[in-house]
Chains A and B, each alone.
Chain A
Amino acid sequence: MKERTLTLALMDPPYESANSTTALRIISAALEQGINVNVFAYEGAVCLPLKDQAPHANPVKGTTVEEEDHPTTKAFVSSLLAIGKDKPRLTWVNCGLCVDERGAANVVEGVRRGSPADFFKMASESTNTLVIPTR
């Protein structure tokens, strides 16, 4: 079967919208089906793989960091990059200008810096492209 590739453009920052969760589920399901995935993270979405994210305790419920087991998007992105390190492959590109605006350069391993030109190339070479915009 011919190799298939999906490109996703993400824009929502972490912890703001269910769009991020759905996008991560789509990436996971595609890799599970052997489909390559390109992600172009734009605007606030460049913070999804931000290394400085830290899980926290919940003083309202009185739970510790371990008990809370707070999921971070950087952990999800790292896991997906590990699954997609070869075949199928996950390529994650953060928009460089968006990164600079947000001081969000400290990202997990495997994420690379790029520009909208990368998105154009990804979309041109993919089976399909899905843009998940902010509202």
Chain B
Amino acid sequence: MTTYVLIESRDPFESRDTTFIEQTAVAIKERGHAVTVFLVQNGVFAARKNIGRLSRLAEAGVTVIADDLSLRERGIQPEELAAGIREAGIGSLVDALANPNTKAVWH
């Protein structure tokens, strides 16, 4: 089994590709692979519960992490995060990248 790490750095209102990331992550998961979506920079805007983006990810069993510094820079509080999205430092991305048999894609 391959593990996939999809890194989303773009604002969901700037690019419709955030939807593409969601669809891709779910499709990979449905094929039996572990998937982590790491939201960073403006990508963390999609993590807010009142936005309603990325809602299928948690239901599909995809791990979703929002970068702590990116959240703080944008004034997003932990209680504003959608269900199934957890806050973590950049070290958690490094942990994921440093695992063997892991494919990483930056968007």
Binding site for B on A (CB under 8 A): 4, 6, 18-19, 22, 25-26, 29-30, 32-33, 35, 127-133
User: What CA separation (Å) do A6 and B96 show in the bound complex?
Assistant: 11
Contacts A22-B40, A25-B90, A32-B91 known; A130 to B69 CB distance under 8 Å?
A: no
Contacts A29-B89, A127-B100, A128-B102 known; A19 to B94 CB distance under 8 Å?
A: no
CB-nearest residue of chain A to B102: A128
Q: Is the CB of A127 within 8 A of B90?
A: no
Beyond the given A35-B94, A130-B104, could you list 4 further A-B residue pairs with CB under 8 A, ordered by the A residue number? A22-B40, A22-B67, A29-B93, A133-B106
Measured CB to CB, the closest approach of chain A to B106, in angstroms, equals 5
Tell me whether chain B's interface is mostly helix, strand or loop, or mixed. mixed
Contacts A29-B89, A32-B91, A132-B106 known; A6 to B41 CB distance under 8 Å?
A: no
**Interface set, chain B 33-82, CB cutoff 8 A to A:** 40-42, 67, 69
CB-nearest residue of chain B to A28: B90
A sample of 20 cross-chain residue pairs with beta-carbon separation below 8 angstroms, ordered by A number, consists of A18-B9, A18-B42, A19-B41, A26-B90, A26-B93, A29-B89, A29-B90, A29-B94, A30-B97, A33-B95, A35-B98, A127-B99, A127-B100, A128-B102, A128-B104, A130-B7, A130-B104, A131-B106, A132-B106, A133-B106
